[in-house]
Amino acid sequence: MKFPYGLSDFGTLMREGYWYQDRTDRLPRLEAAGRQLLFIRPRRFGKSLLLSMLEHYYDLNQTEHFDDLFGGLAIGRAPTPLRNRFFVMKWDLSLVPAQGEVKDIEAALHQHLNDCIGDFARRYQGWLPSPIQLHPDNALSSWRSALTAVSETPYRLYLLIDEYDNFANEVLMAGQAGSQDRYQALLYGEGLLKTVFKAVKAAAGGLGLDRVFITGVSPVVLSDMTSGYNVAESIYLEPAFNDLCGFTEVELETVLEQLATQGSGWSPTVARETMRTFYNGYRFSEDATESLYNPTLSLYFLKALARDGHYPRRLLDENLAMDRGKLAYVAALPHGEDLLVAALAGDDRVIIPELARRFGVTDVLAATKDQPFLASLLYFFGILTLAGVTSFNECILRIPNLVARGLYVERLREAWLPPSGMARGLPDAVRRLGQQGDLEPLAGLIEQGYFRVLSNRDYRWTNELLVKFAFLTLLFDDRLYMAVSELETGRGYADLALIVRPDMRRFQALDLLLEFKYLGLKELGLTGEQVRAQPREALAVLPAVATKLDEATAQARDYGALLRERYGLADLRAFAVVALGLERLVWRAA
């Protein structure tokens, strides 16, 4: 099997025998949904391949190739009347640079549109009775010429616009001086980008343009264009299109079963469980009943299996590392870091009244950043996803999977872990715990410095949560582990479980489970100095401490038994850990 990682040309996939998960059965629904559609998904979620499929299906030039391209797919067995009935033009606004002065950006936009129109004229010269006149300094005049040529034929135009909001995203991430002014000059008043979309809107009013399909990451640009382009119908939250991009679990199960017949020695069941933990969990409609797998990450995983016969060493594809920048951007906003902590704090959930659907760049850059606003931004970035509604009709958002959770932890660790001897001593302390079950070195690092760092953050910590975050941010590493916070066990939530990845069990690494409790110094009746002066053994037998240790031990044993059964673990090391103020840690093997 050949997996099309990084490929987004539908024709190449079909002609060269790459695996393609059929989504052509959605075409009748898309045709019925409207003539000007907006479809939003996170980056690298298959939007460009979707546009390429639409292009090949509707293109007049592909009529003779229809059976080769679509004969084996759902739409090939029941094509719609609109198949191969359009001239198709495609704009990819990610190719327009967002840097420089306004005049430079405008020139680049004119150039890109002229390039697209020129390519269109060459591809359809046999169909068009009149030549298209290109105006180098005025792409809108070129656009009108193309429409005139199209209107002289019995056919109409289908316009595909990919990454329509790329410029806005660049503005958001760059945060450079003057970037907001440049954005406003392009989008507000008679700005060029707004004028371009006004021209698209006008063309659909009987000037030869019949259909438009737009993809992007967020609704920011359309919010700012207001009357410039107020005719698009948003389908990105519709349950019927929840899986228009992305893979379902049943689809991936089928692929894994086929791959396993090649005799590689890995278990398709275990591979599915691993992919589910790291890549599954996306929902793009409040009414969706099925979660989706990230397609880029899934193809990255499947290609490694097919090529090497084993999982990729790193389960986070570095081509998605740009998402780190988005988290860093949100974390730097007022209350942004608070939201990252809130998302990781309990069962990875954030509850807001409703998802913000229309907000402009000015709102993002200058408005007061409350949790609903920031959480909505993370939803559009693909680092939070929909998880249903509460009994009070509030929107539940959650971290979709372990790869996304890892990005959160990585961001917080970078912000919190001081570049000192503590950071230098961390690898050895983690190794001692992971290989020998020795908690002493890591506890020492946390006591000596990390508690002070976390306690100085501007959060209203519950103290038990502070302890958990100390261990979570220091231990999270998908190189060996599936590190799961608040792992659901059926009877409650284990505080922190470190389960060795199935493909990494050839290495010397222990499965770990930690349950945390907290005792304030007032409850102990001791000062910080007195606690620091006593050995751990003496602290552990104090009545209040022993009671907390007993509670945590009982929970750790209960959860540990369930985890051993679920994962088939032979040597899970479980610990009950009690923090005494922010001074000392005591623990017991459970």
Alpha-carbon distance values, 77 to 24, 61, 265 (Å): 10, 20, 37
**Whether the Cβ atoms of residue 471 and residue 516 lie closer than 8 Å to each other:** yes
- Same domain as 587, residue 518: yes
Instruction: Give backbone dihedrals phi and psi of 106, rounded to 5 degrees, phi first.
Output: -65, -40
SS3 of 107, please? helix
pTM for this entry: 0.92
Q: Mean pLDDT over residues 507-530, rounded?
A: 94
* pLDDT for the residue 315: 87
Domain contains 428: no
Provide, rounded to the nearest whole percent, the portion of the chain with pLDDT above 90.
Answer: 62
Checking if the pLDDT of 186 tops 90, the result is no
| pLDDT number for residue 489 | 47
Please say if the pLDDT value at position 421 is more than 70: no
Distances (CA, A) of 35 to 157, 240, 402: 11, 17, 38
In a shared domain, residues 219 and 108: yes
pLDDT number for residue 517:
95
Backbone angles phi, psi at 137, to 5 degrees: -100, 5
Give 265's pLDDT tier (boundaries 50, 70, 90): confident
Domain-located, residue 37 = yes
CB 139 within 8 A of CB 126: no
Do 281 and 202 belong to one domain?
A: no
Q: Write down how long the chain is.
A: 590
Same-domain pairing of 309 and 176: no
Q: Is residue 169 located within the same domain as residue 254?
A: no
225/267 same-domain check: no
Using pLDDT thresholds of 50, 70 and 90, give the confidence band for residue 251: very high
* pLDDT, position 223: 78
Q: At 418, is the pLDDT very low, low, confident or very high (cuts 50, 70, 90)?
A: confident
What is the share, in percent, of the chain residues with pLDDT greater than 70? Answer: 92
Query: Total domain count for the chain?
Result: 3
Q: Work out the pLDDT band at 175, boundaries 50, 70, 90.
A: low
Q: What is the mean pLDDT of the chain?
A: 90
Last residue of a domain, one of 241, 260, 278: 241
Residues 277-290 pLDDT 10s: 999 999 999 889 89
Which domain-ending residue is among 241, 262, 279?
Answer: 241
Higher pLDDT pick, 326 / 319: 326
Distance CA 176, CA 180 (A): 8
Domain match, 289 and 174 both: no
Q: What angle do CA 233, 286, 497 make, to 5 degrees?
A: 135
Average pLDDT over residues 473-483: 88
Residue of higher predicted confidence among 464 and 432: 432
Indicate the range of 224-233, 354-363, 486-495 predicted with least confidence. Answer: 486-495
What CATH number is attached to the domain comprising 564?
Answer: 3.40.1350
Residue 273 is assigned to a structural domain of this protein: yes
Q: For residue 566, how many other CB atoms are within 10 A of its CB?
A: 13
Residue 329 placed within a domain: no
Give the pLDDT confidence score for residue 572 in this predicted structure.
95
Which CATH number does the domain housing residue 28 bear? Answer: 3.40.50.300
Position 447 in a domain:
no
Tell whether 39 and 126 lie within a shared domain.
yes
Q: pLDDT tens digits for 294-313?
A: 999 999 999 999 999 989 98
More confident site: 224 or 447: 447
* Domain stops at, among 197, 216, 241: 241
In a domain, 313, yes or no: yes
**Measured distance CA(428)–CA(195) in Å, rounded:** 59
Query: Could you tell me if 221 and 269 lie in one domain?
Result: no
What average pLDDT score do residues 572-585 get?
Answer: 95
Looking at residue 486, its pLDDT comes to 53
**In terms of domains, do 533 and 576 share one?**
yes
Burial of 77 (0-12, 13-18, 19+ CB in 10 A): exposed
pLDDT at residue 492 in the model? 63
Assess whether pLDDT exceeds 70 at residue 528: yes
Q: How confident is the model over 62-73, as a mean pLDDT?
A: 97
- Predicted pLDDT of residue 247: 98
Residue 123 falls within a domain, yes or no? yes
Token representation of residue 192: 């060029």
**What pLDDT does residue 347 have?**
62
| Claim to verify: residue 585 and residue 565 sit in the same structural domain | yes
Between 488 and 215, name the one with better pLDDT. Answer: 215
Q: Dump pLDDT digits (tens) for 379-413.
A: 998 989 998 888 999 999 999 988 888 889 989 98
- The reply to whether 22 and 169 lie within a common domain is yes
Ranked by mean pLDDT, the top range of 26-40, 319-333, 373-387 is 26-40
The domain containing residue 38 runs over which residues? Answer: 10-241
- Residue 425 inside a domain? The answer is no
> Would you state the pLDDT for residue 488?
54
pLDDT of 167 over the 90 cut:
no
Which region among 39-43, 351-355, 370-374 has the lowest average model confidence (pLDDT)?
370-374
pLDDT by residue (tens digit) across 428-459? 999 999 999 999 999 999 998 888 888 877 66
Q: Is the pLDDT of residue 356 over 70?
A: yes
CB 279 within 8 A of CB 255: no
Helices (H), 368-513: 371-381, 402-416, 421-436, 440-445, 451-455, 463-475
Alpha-carbon dihedral sign for residues 472, 477, 480, 481: positive
173 DSSP assignment: H
Look at residue 575 and give its three-state secondary structure. strand
